[in-house]
Structure 1
Amino acid sequence: MVSKSRNRSKVHYSAIDGDLDYEDIEDRNAIDLSDLPRLTEEQVYLPSRRKNSKFSKSSNLSQVENFLNRFELPRKKFQAAVLSILAFGFIILVILKIGLAGKTCQSIDQLKEQKAIFDALKNITECKSTTGEAFPWQKYRLPGESIPSAYYLFFYPDQETKTFSGSVDIIFEQSAKGKYIALHARNLNIRYLSIFECKEYDVDCYGDNDAKRSQEDVEDFFVSCDELGMLVIKMSKDLLPGRKYNLNIRYSAALPGPGLILQKYQKGPGQFGQYLVSDFMPNKARNVFPCFDEPEYQAKFTLEVVRKKDEKVFFNSGFSRKSPYAKNSGQTGKFGLSQAVQSHEVDTFESTEPVPLYSLGFVIGNFDTTTINDGNFLMSTIGGISSNYALAFSQRVAKLAQRLQDWSGRSFTCQMRFVLLPNYVKNNFFQPKGLALLPLSTFTKTNYEIDYQIALELTQLMFHSGTIKWWDHLWQDAGIFQSIASSLLNDFDRNIILAENRHEVFSHQSFFTLANMTLDSEAQMSDAFCTFSSNRWGLVVNLFADFFKMKFGTDIIQSTVAESAFENTIFENAALVKKVKETLSIDLISMATDWNMKDIPVLGIDTIGGKIEFTKKDDSLLVPVRYQVDETCCREALIKDKSQAIDTGILPHFVASKGMLQLGYRVQYSTQVFDIIEKSLEIADDKNDVLNEIERAMFFQDAFYFAKIGQLNYKKLIRLLSTLHSESSEIVWRTALECMRWIEIQISSSFDVREQFWFSKFMVEKLRHALQIAETEDFKERS
């Protein structure tokens, strides 16, 4: 496994300690007289005349004087002329000097103007602290000189005042000498700061509780602009490398906000409640408490939460103890007489294993719980979800866990924590159920989407040791997770997941290549996270899964992924990439990194040589992203010209199935797409061939997806479904299964009650009709 490492040199706090000293431009261009060579006294002053010089008087002088006396008047004129010339020359020199000086002054003015422009640009791009001064640390990533090992978090949410407050003790080790600590904190009101050095044998680093001295060690602190979301603390003394310290910060903020979700649910007719769910993925923990919010800083977490007596809290780790809550205690940062609050209690949870911040999760609410624990996972439900549903859910989890064990060849022993939550959607005829997976939180999910989330969580837990070292690799590694998770689902659910991911993958205009993986801004990190959500790498795996199995054996993907333990991504396995390229002529890395919305590769087939190549054809219909890679597809993958196909209305069935989807991408599933399908059904010699190809091209999943997001006319879709039902009993029951599953998807959308009821009634009628026609065991079982 070839692992890409981040070129991230250690930055010493000398960059933070001193102010940035910009040297004046005119000073750099000035001449320092001390640099010039020193002149001797004789070089500075003219030599004095000596008596023995050649200018001394001689006997010939009288002759010269006599000669000059003869021309007395002309000599005076000559002297006047010489003086005039000297005076004129002096004036010229003065003028020239003035001109040169003016030119020099003008040049300095220009330099000053350039410096002003430079300073203005610097001020625009420079992150300011809340005081208006330059923030001491200007880079997006932390310096990496303070390494956290444990967090002790006290959290008090108050839904009545729409605020929350808290206190966090961060145990960290210093790796370099310096007076500054840089960490993350965004939109938090910092109330109190203190720090002390951990004693040698003080494992938990409680210190000597000298609050005054701990505060005196903090000289000042700086809160950055919103873009950086950081907090820099300046110490009065140097932090020493190899030493451990305890940093205590007390703070408050508004509720809800990034990182905390207040989710509404229906208790009864006209009665509603709310539960609070955390959402720290990918970097929103910094909005909830000060922390080192980067994936490589994995630490243990101990959580204390203030809750109402009728509420419950679920966290990643197990429950430890319950204690009374004392208002105005030191925990909340308000010192004075403590007062017991009868309406609230404090829940304390056991310490977690070292985990990155994005994997933390908690749920707080008025839970009427049913708990199921089979040794592998712990599930709790709240009021509104029946115990029968909870039991059925547990069976589904157990089935997925068994599939993952079979897939990977590993035994699954990790404990999982699920919280089943009812969800409220306005004007929804069927109130859907939600699911909170700790750390993942998902809402308004259908059964197939919940299965997919469970499969994702199982996969991450099994391969967690090497996952997502940094955001740079987030979208690669998670894409592999999604590929494995989708493989654990049944065929129908997997096809729907692939259809949705397929549309998401092309909604991003830019992607990151393996050659340049360093993310230097939050915008880039967010883009990378969105790309990860689009299942880009997992999509590539699925595209060529059949090829991998055919050419390299059935376990090629599984063994490669399992052996590498997701240290990075299987596409950085040089041997595999080379083998795929040599055997199949497929450049996986170039293909996966070069795709964008305007330039999607087209599958071109060299039927004579038997090679598969990717070419870019702007004038052709594009094949669907989910390639059916088999001999039939290879023979039929050549795509006709789009304009000719539409003009003539004559479409072979393979063009109808593989061309209409990409045409749909371009025209947003306009009526043209349905007209093409209906025309194909009219002119085809064998309608079953057309129907089979339409089904194989995953048209229904795509069509329902566009209907779900409001870009498709449902009446057109249902008319087409009616046409298909009248053609073939084999197609009828398969289409009915599609309809049955998509009832779940439809009811999760925010359509009005009348429309949902009408659509559901239509689907039920079609299911009854299909059941009468198709007497198959598979259909009966799945119905």
Structure 2
Amino acid sequence: MMLHAQVYRLHRTASTLRRTSTAVGSLERLCSCIVYKLAETWPPQHPSALFSGKMVDDAKDRYRLPTNVRPRHYDLTVRTDLEELKFDGYVTVHLDILEETRTIQFHVLKLKLEQAKLTSPSLNGPIVQHGSEITFDEDDERATMNLSTTLPAGTTAELRFEFESELLGSLTGYYRSSWECQGKTSYYALTHFEPTAARRAFPCWDEPALKATYTMQMVSRAHTVNLANMSVHSESIYAPHPDPDSDVAAWLSQKLPEGRHEMWKVTTFQKTPLISTYIVAWANGPFSFLEAAYTSPLTSKTCPLRIYATPDLVHQAQFALDIARRAMPIYEQVFDIEYPLPKLDFLVANDFNIGAMENWGLITGRTTAFLVDPLRGKLLDKKGVTYTVCHEIAHMWFGNITTMDWWDTVYLKEGFARLVGETIIAGKLFPEWRLRQGFVRSEMVAAMRADAKLSSHPIEVECPDAKMANQIFDAMSYDKGATILRMLSGYVTEEKFLKGASLYLKKHLYGNAVTKDLWRGVAEASGMDVPRIMDNWVKKTGFPIVQVTELDGGIRVRQDRFLETGPADPKDNETIWSIPLTILAIDGGGKASVDRAVLLDEREKVVSVDTSKPFKLNAGTIGMYRVLYGPERLAKIAQEAAKRNSVFSLEDRLGLLLDALVLSKAGYSLASSVLTLYNILRDEEDRMIWLTMADGISEMSSVWFEQGDIVENLDKFCRDLFGPIVKRLGTDYSEDEDIEVRQLRTAAIQRAARAGDSHVVDHILSLFNKATATGDDTCIPPDLVTITYEIAVKYGGRKEWDVVEGIITTAKTPQVKRAAMVALGATRDRDLQEETWSYIMTKARDQDLYSYFAGLQGNPTARHFLAEKFKADYDTLHTRTAHNFRLQHLVWFSFTMLSSMKDYEETAAFFKDRDTSTFSMSRDQALESIEARAAWVERSSEDLRQWFEKMAEE
């Protein structure tokens, strides 16, 4: 009933704002969203007395363009002027008229349109439109052309526009990026259109299902390089002529002033295949490149690969190019589909909104996504570049060849790319990285952390407009999408899953698809009823906890929704998932077997298991669910896991550790039981187990950051665990050492230093002081750069802060620069925290804001400072991020690590009367995180104190 009241109040508010059309439009759209959700959620016995079915349809469809007209091909010409920092051009859109109409709607935003002309074989002559005949709705980001005559169904038309705009530093649409060249700031330009920003660069039908082909021309200063989705067809220098011999020459002759002898060139690109607007791309600038090629294993054709960057950075791009060269043929073999374009380029950008973007044939991304120092690049940097390159290449098939029909199923590309690209394919390139095991403690953790909140949302979520589309590029689409696809892969086998993906792609080549199309492909490959198993994982919010009760001759298993705040209320506990229980059992001879056939698809079920022998649910931690055992069974499982040659796999042991921490946080077990488990495993040798324990201790320290005695005891516990590892492995690195030894040493040094181990801290400070004194930072091992800067700022003062601040502008690699950005927030001095904030507000690039916020968030002494500064400068931050929707991330960093109900109330009060439509999900998640952390502190503080007292006595 609350929604009914909201509708009434919003309509009443709208009625008082008749003179403010923008406000009324916004309120009406919000009402429509609520109306649509009401129609979805009303029980069947409640007739929709207030709203007709047609109104519901209108509410759902008003954000989509009408279907009476569809684009078939774009002839697009764009001129870039990097000296004047503007662009202009013209486009002819070839249209199919599917229904009789006298109006044409299309998307456009922040563009000045001129010279609108419509021609059609059905018309006696062209229709030239003037401003009064085109209406603009900036809220819905579209324009409507009202025609003086009717276009008949079944005919075609051509719509031509001229357009122009400034090149802003907006990180979206067609925008400018800057770099320092010979002591001055220079610029280049590139596009970023996902999800709904192509309309900022040219008038278009900006929806993923409205695919068309493109013929692209770029006009630019003669000394610059033009890039686009396709290969260059021709390139020539423009020469003024009284009788121009081409359309672009005639257009330029009108645009360029007489008497100015400027050299412009025209680059024409090959025609694209059918492509969605969000992966159309182009760029212009003084780029240099590295090149390679690969041979298709399917056709034996050679495909050229290039990576472009500004001349000062391109030498760091070789590693990314090598990854692409190695990965491309593997993708062709896995999908059994040749990469269809004639080339694949990458472009490295100094200013970029996200990590990277899969534009077809022209992948773009920030410096940290593609660059690695060829001599001193650390392993973590190489892993990050590998993940990014493999992720974006996965999209060349999953997303670009076959595209989701609408943004509500964006997981079809993002979840898939995270699993197949970052885990399966990257794992084939570097098996020694053990990425399949790493998935459990990274992507799976991220998915379950976000989905354990009431404020979560289904993977498939209603996505009416741009504000919502930008918010769902989140852990649900990426990490939960990947996690449930991994679960499906484990259930049907990876071979059949990838075969099903190939069938899915082949059936929807150059088209669009929805979830059921992928399920059909996997069902065909596996012979299983995939929709029955998977639909609720995609369509419903949350995931289950499975409670195990032992019986004579078996176990009773019960599923309920898991929430980090504790057992769910009945109204939030209605979903029944189909859960692959995947039971690992051990026989009398100690041999393990896995039963993959048991599916828990009802609330409770009794399963036959020999409880006299060790057993464990969710073998391999494949399923996205928590398991709650009785204390005695959990102790037996822990004892088995602690054995040197345990039958439990690494994934099993990781799952046990992760379940223990989260179940404690939700109140199902004591917080002290987590530390007891860690203590049992202190003889563990595997790096991932140690990292998982370190993460657990860090999370507890973070939650209890305002209880100094508990934090100090947790730090001491951490020092006792990791200090001996540092002593055993030492602090020196060798190029030929085992990769696991290298990673464990790095992790142990980081954890011991953050816990205040004096020996480790002194060593790190000596590295920093030596680098500062000599001006040579090669004394700092690449793997320790991040922790060295952080510790130097944390334990230092003005001098150390100034040194790190200077590194931001002088760093030789983007990774070192980012390490300095994060470290700047580690200071415990309030005056230096103020200077850090001043730096953020006056000098930081917009794309780097979250790095500085992350540094302050990670510093317990700066968390309340960060929250208060965000509130004080909210309007400025809102303006800075208005074009790129990044405010949602800043909200998360600013508030999610607070741990008291007082913080909750103050945060909720701050946002109460503000427009949070572009970041409402982040706001709700932050508030729920504060609530869960505060409850854990209230419930478990005394338990932890007693455990530490007992440990001190032993």
Q: Same fold judged by TM-score > 0.5?
A: yes
Deviation per residue, 1:713-768 (Å, 9 max, x gap): 99998885444445799974551476899669883673428959x9xxxxxxxxxx
Does the Cα contact within 8 Å between 1:145 and 1:175 map onto a contact in 2? yes
Q: Distance in 2 between matches of 1:615 and 1:579?
A: 31
Structure 1 Cα separation of the partners of residues 491 and 660 of structure 2:
26
Q: Distance in 2 between matches of 1:322 and 1:626?
A: 61
CA distance in 1, matches of 2:118, 2:231: 29
What CA distance in whole angstroms lies between the structure 2 residues aligned with 1:310 and 1:539? 47
2:63 counterpart SS class = coil
Per-residue deviation, 1:294: 0.9
| Amino acid paired to 1:359 | I
In the superposition, relative to structure 1, how do residues 755 and 345 fare at CA in structure 2: closer, same or farther (>3 Å)? same
Alpha-carbon shift at residue 142 of structure 1 (Å): 0.7
2:79 to 136, 147, 156: 156
The alignment partner of 2:410 has SS state of helix
Structure 1 or 2: more helix by fraction: 2
Asked if 1:371 corresponds to 2:327, the answer is no
Structure 1 unpaired stretches of 5+: 1-112, 130-135, 200-206, 426-432, 759-783
Tell me which of 260, 264, 275 is aligned to 2:174: 260
**Which range moved further: 625-634 or 314-323?**
625-634
Secondary structure in 1 aligned to 2:396? helix
392-401 or 650-659, which moves further after superposition? Answer: 650-659
| CA shift for structure 1 position 325 | 6.8
Q: 2:824 matched to 1:752?
A: no
1:245 maps to: 157
1:283 and 2:191 correspond: no
**Distance in 2 of aligned mates of 1:418 and 1:575:** 30
User: Structure 1 residues 316 and 194, CA, compared in 2 at 3 Å: closer, same or farther?
Assistant: same
What secondary structure sits across from 1:192 in the alignment?
A: strand
Amino acid at match of 1:559: K
**Alignment partners' CA distance in 1, 2:273 and 2:192:** 19
Aligned residue for 1:687, secondary structure, equals: coil
Mapping of residues 30-45 of structure 1, within 5 Å: none
Distance, in Å, in 1 between the alignment partners of 2:153 and 2:191 is 35
Alignment of 1:304-453 (within 5 A): 304-319=217-232, 320-324=234-238, 331=251, 341-374=261-294, 375-384=302-311, 392-410=319-337, 414-421=341-348, 423=350, 438-443=361-366, 444-445=368-369, 446-453=381-388
* Aligned counterpart for 1:634 among listed residues 617, 629, 649: 617
* One-letter amino acid of the counterpart of residue 616, structure 1: R
Whether 1:735 aligns to 2:744 is yes
CA distance in 1, matches of 2:181, 2:12: 66
Return the alpha-carbon distance in structure 2 between the equivalents of residues 753 and 114 of structure 1: 47
* Separation in 1, partners of 2:413, 2:147: 39
> Alignment partner of 1:688: what SS?
coil
**Letter matched to residue 545 of structure 2:** V
Match of 1:221 in 2: 133
Q: Alpha carbons of 1:715 and 1:373: their partners in 2 closer, same or farther (altered >3 Å)?
A: farther
The residue aligned with 1:480 is 416
| CA–CA distance in structure 2, aligned partners of residues 558 and 702 of structure 1 | 34
Distance of 1:245 and 1:699 partners within structure 2: 64
Mark the CA change 1:366 to 1:177 in structure 2 (over 3 Å): closer, same or farther: same
1:555 matched to which residue of 2?
495
Report the residue type matching 1:573 in the other structure.
W
Structure with the greater alpha carbon radius of gyration: 1
CA contact (8 A) 2:463 2:469 kept: yes
Alignment of 1:101-140 (within 5 A): 125-126=24-25, 139-140=62-63
In 2: Cα distance, 1:542 partner to 1:621 partner: 27
Letter in 2 for 1:473: T
Closer, same or farther in 2 for the Cα pair 1:388/1:337, shift >3 Å?
closer
For residues 706 and 422 of structure 1, the distance between their equivalents in structure 2, rounded to whole angstroms, comes to 38
- Residue 190 of structure 1 corresponds to 113
* Structure 2 CA distance for aligned equivalents of residues 749 and 494 of structure 1: 30
Provide closer, same or farther for how the CA distance between residues 478 and 609 of structure 1 changes in structure 2, counting only shifts above 3 A.
farther
Report 1:476-625 matches (<5 A): 476-486=412-422, 487-490=424-427, 491-493=433-435, 499-502=441-444, 504-505=446-447, 506-507=449-450, 509-512=455-458, 519-530=463-474, 533-549=477-493, 554-565=494-505, 567-569=513-515, 573=519, 587-596=533-542, 600-605=543-548, 609=554, 614-616=559-561
Unaligned runs of 5+ in 2: 1-10, 29-57, 242-247, 295-301, 370-380, 428-432, 568-578, 586-614, 620-625, 643-647, 731-737, 749-780, 788-814, 827-954
Which piece of structure 1 moves more, 448-457 or 724-733?
A: 724-733
- Tell me how many residue pairs correspond in the alignment: 599
CA distance in structure 2 between the partners assigned to 1:724 and 1:699 by the alignment: 14
> Matches of 1:114 and 1:503 in 2, distance apart?
44
Matched, 1:234 2:146: yes
- Contact kept, 8 Å, 2:74 with 2:212, in 1: the verdict is yes
**Cα gap change, 1:573 to 1:605, in 2 (>3 Å):** farther
What is the DSSP-based 3-state SS (H/G/I as helix, E as strand, rest coil) of the residue aligned with 2:305?
A: strand
> 1 CA distance for matches of 2:584 and 2:728?
26
Give the fraction of aligned pairs with identical amino acids, expressed as a percent: 12
Residue by residue over 1:260-314, the C-alpha shift from the partner in whole angstroms, topping out at 9 and shown as x without a partner, is 343333446x455433221011111001110010112111212222322221011
Cα deviation for residue 606 of structure 1 reads 6.8
1:260 to 1:745, Cα distance in 2 relative to 1, 3 A: farther
CA distance in 1, matches of 2:490, 2:723: 33
SS at match of 2:288: coil
Contact 2:116 2:130 in 1 (8 A): yes
Give the stretch that moved more between structures: 277-286 or 502-511: 502-511
Shift of 1:663: 7.4
Q: Which residue number in structure 1 is paired with residue 682 of structure 2?
A: 687
Q: Amino acid of the residue matched to residue 111 of structure 2?
A: L
Tell me whether 1:169 sits opposite 2:92 in the alignment.
yes
- Of stretches 287-296 and 113-122 in structure 1, the one that deviates more from structure 2 is 113-122
- Match in the other structure for 2:882: none
Q: Judging changes above 3 Å, is the alpha-carbon distance between structure 1 residues 361 and 611 closer, same or farther for their aligned structure 2 residues?
A: farther
Which amino acid is the alignment partner of residue 190 of structure 1?
L
TM-score (normalised: structure 1) = 0.62
1:297 alignment partner, one of 203, 210, 214 = 210
| Structure 1 counterpart of 2:793 | none
Alpha-carbon spacing, 1:574–1:297, altered in 2? closer, same or farther (3 Å): closer
Q: Does the residue aligned with 2:387 lie in a helix, a strand or coil? A: helix
Deviates more, 1:629-638 or 1:558-567: 629-638
User: Residue deviations 1:25-67, cap 9 Å, x none?
Assistant: xxxxxxxxxxxxxxxxxxxxxxxxxxxxxxxxxxxxxxxxxxx
In the alignment, is the contact (CA less than 8 A) between 1:501 and 1:535 conserved in 2?
Answer: yes
- Pair 1:238–1:453, CA change in 2 (3 A): same
1:752 aligned counterpart, secondary structure: helix
Matched-pair contact (CA < 8 Å) for 2:307–2:348? no
Higher RCO structure, 1 or 2 (CA under 8 Å, sep 6+): 1
TM-score by length of 2: 0.52
Contact residue 326 and residue 339 of structure 1 kept, 8 A: no
Per-residue deviation, 1:362:
1.8
- Residue deviations 1:585-638, cap 9 Å, x none? 994322343344xxx42244577658976433569999xx99998556538975
AA partner of residue 481 (structure 1): A
Deviation at 1:372, TM superposition (A): 2.7
Which residue among 448, 451, 461 is the counterpart of 2:396?
461
Going from structure 1 to structure 2, the CA distance change for 1:392 and 1:754 (only over 3 Å counts) comes to closer
